[in-house]
Amino acid sequence: MHIEPIQFGIYRPEDCYVVSGCKPKGFTFIYVLDGAGKFCDDTRCIHAAPGDMIILPSENDYRIKTRSQSMRCYTTVVFPCGMGNGEIAELITARMPKIAIGINRRWFFEAIRSRLSSPHAYAQKAAFYSIVSLIYEINMPHPEHAAESAAVESALREIQRRIAEPAIDVGQLAGLSGLNRSYFIRLFKSRVGVPPRQYFLRLKVEASQPLLSRTELPVHKIADDFGFADQFHFSRIFKKWTGVSPRTYRENGARA
């Protein structure tokens, strides 16, 4: 099996995007982070919402049209070629053209993207087996702990809704989920990979990146829009997660 590098895309409502197919035959995986839209080929349109994974034949051309706001997605192409991969192809086909895999997969796809671009062979193998694991996972029966999954999904939606606020109350999030605070934190970390407050800060940083690279908004204005105390607080948190300051990130983006 071969996996193409994962691409991160932002699709704006005023534009229509056309993606050309490729050969040999494989499968295009598109994970929708946020926003909503539809993916259309010559025969049908598939409507997508946050947490959906769209699976399309890689050889087909398709058009992307968003609704009232931009849609952000991770995209990769999987080629289940070679001996022993017939089962993989069958499992992928069984979940076409759309499956809801939850809105907490952001860091899963980001980790795979990072590993696929690594020169280290073991990192690339880790990415490979992560995708294989996902393919088997989405074909499993519904998990027994559906209530816990729903609680985490609810918390993620609430955190995303409050992204512009200065802070979140973890106890309140736990209460909304109907769980004990300490258990909620452990559950959230086990499903998402980081505790709620760290997820909240990381989400702010990720949401600020397009504004830094694609607009001329002052850094202090972006900091204010996302609820940071000031631009120095924003810069400290941004550098913690990305390794560079907002200004350096903007300069690098401008040169790209």
Structure tokens at 228: 């940071």
**8 Å CB contact between 51 and 29:** no
At 163, list the tokens.
Answer: 């992204």
List all residues 6 or more positions away from 86 whose beta carbon is below 8 Å from its beta carbon. 80
Residue 83: the pLDDT is: 43
Query: Could you tell me the end-to-end alpha-carbon distance of the chain, in angstroms, rounded to an integer?
Result: 31
Can you give the pLDDT at residue 145?
60
CA angle, 29 then 87 then 93, to 5°: 40
**Phi and psi of 46, rounded to 5°?**
-110, 120
Bridge partners (DSSP) of residue 2 are 79
Burial grade of 123 (CB within 10 A; 0-12, 13-18, 19 or more): middle
Range with the poorest average pLDDT among 26-35, 67-76, 92-101: 67-76
pLDDT at position 81 is 64
pLDDT band with cut points at 50, 70 and 90 for residue 191? confident
Using one digit for the tens of pLDDT, what is the confidence trace for 153-183?
889 889 988 999 999 999 999 988 888 999 9
Asked if residue 52 lies in contact with residue 100, where contact means CB atoms within 8 angstroms, the answer is yes
Of the candidates 77, 98, 84, the one whose C-alpha atom is nearest the C-alpha of residue 25 is 77
Nearest C-alpha neighbor of 155 from the set 103, 220, 100: 103
Q: Which residue has the higher pLDDT, 83 or 63?
A: 63
Identify the CATH number of the domain defined by range 2-137.
2.60.120.280
Superfamily per CATH, domain 146-256: Homeodomain-like (1.10.10.60)
The SS3 of residue 72 is strand
Considering 156-160, 195-199, 204-208, the range whose residues carry the highest mean pLDDT is: 195-199
Residue 93, phi then psi, degrees to nearest 5: -60, -35
Tokens describing residue 245? 């300051």
Query: What are the helix (H) ranges across the chain?
Result: 86-94, 106-116, 121-137, 146-161, 170-177, 181-192, 196-214, 219-225, 231-242, 246-255
- Residue ranges covered by each domain of the chain: 2-137, 146-256
The pTM for the full model equals 0.66
C-alpha–C-alpha distance, residues 158 and 150, integer Å: 12
Give CA angle at 13 (9, 17), nearest 5°: 55
pLDDT tens for each residue of 216-225: 999 999 999 9
- Does the pLDDT of residue 246 top 90, yes or no? yes
Question: What does residue 166 show for φ and ψ, rounded to 5 degrees?
Answer: -65, -35
Mean pLDDT over residues 178-189, rounded?
90
Q: What's the mean pLDDT when you consider all of the chain?
A: 87
Q: How many residues does the chain have?
A: 256
- The band of 46, judged by pLDDT with boundaries at 50, 70 and 90, is very high
- The pLDDT value recorded for residue 80 is 76
